[in-house]
Structure 1
């Protein structure tokens, strides 16, 4: 039995919490669930000690309310200064630019993500068509014949795209590539894509005023996360805990 300052956490509560913690094994899921409940109870007890109402804290909305009140009252959070924001911008200028633009064509060989046979067949076809394209086959003709995308009627052209307009697994590959025929098909939730990048237009650098708010929010959130982790660690050290060992946890809080 797990006890937090003599308050027991029921085994049934741990089993119920496990559904929110997918893991490679039942033991890992149970550890994550138990850790979540232990930390939640520690925070509830601290909030109650400070006079914060935790009556409805077992409901998710109520829990978020009391935790926000607790953090605001019990942690003196520093905020990023103008100097720190400028320094971060100067050190990371390459991160701040408009999205690059790509002009590309593709041939989509559709495949249901749950149909392993269809996906294997589509990949085989993709490899075959890629060899034809390398040998000089006409991209537009193959797109018209094989592509499952409406772009088949415009030679496979998707026009000009920027980040956020297509699915992430497709974007990661095309925005990292150089112009020309990609050497392998890109697998996405829709199937396999043969891609030809006609043109790549680099993003334009952004000035500090355009990204100041984003930088300030990022730095403040990073500080808050670090301060929260330290705060929880300090509460754990002050807690009489039975039946649970935080040293077994792989939580970032314990690193």
Structure 2
């Protein structure tokens, strides 16, 4: 036993243990594994601003202390959740992070201000979006069958229009309707036919999804192009949306270069940087 205690290795281990115990004693409570969580002045300002926008006044001392406490609780819980891996394989978290990244890219793109010439060029390319469509006012009389509609066309010269036609839950008169509105009610072919009719006299039968109609055009407004000066604000907003979409596509293209993407299942289809629309 005495010979064992004389071994230098044993002395070294005992001394090391004593040093380790002393270090632990003098540094207890310091939490060597603790991480710093800093709430910045910008975050405090954001908390105050958010409160003021909601309640239309700044928070008092107690309310602000509660705001900071709730925010700190949220930050710490989020840190612990990530440490436990709770964010992995979570669809909601993944989509939220992707959405925030997309917003970041879009916000960066929206900082650009277009030159007047660039804005006018964009207007010229997209001028169809700023065109006021043709409109018509018309009266229709509905018939269940084509033969009864033809008979009604013969009688309309000697009888009042209100006395003719079959019952249907549709208005008889339409004022200032564009072709899309007419098509949504009566069908595309009916709308195209009616917009080609001349005003002033009764025409028909014109077939729709309901049956047959006699139609009289009361007035017509030709389509017109809205000038650039009239729609400059809308053109600028559309230009910004277009640039944001382009920025997102470029960023995604760069991500595809950054990462090696492997699609399991043997799919050989190339990944596209532009969203497929089917057109």
TM-score normalised by the chain length of structure 2:
0.46
TM-score normalised by the chain length of structure 1:
0.49
| Structure having greater relative contact order (Cα 8 Å, sep ≥ 6) | 1
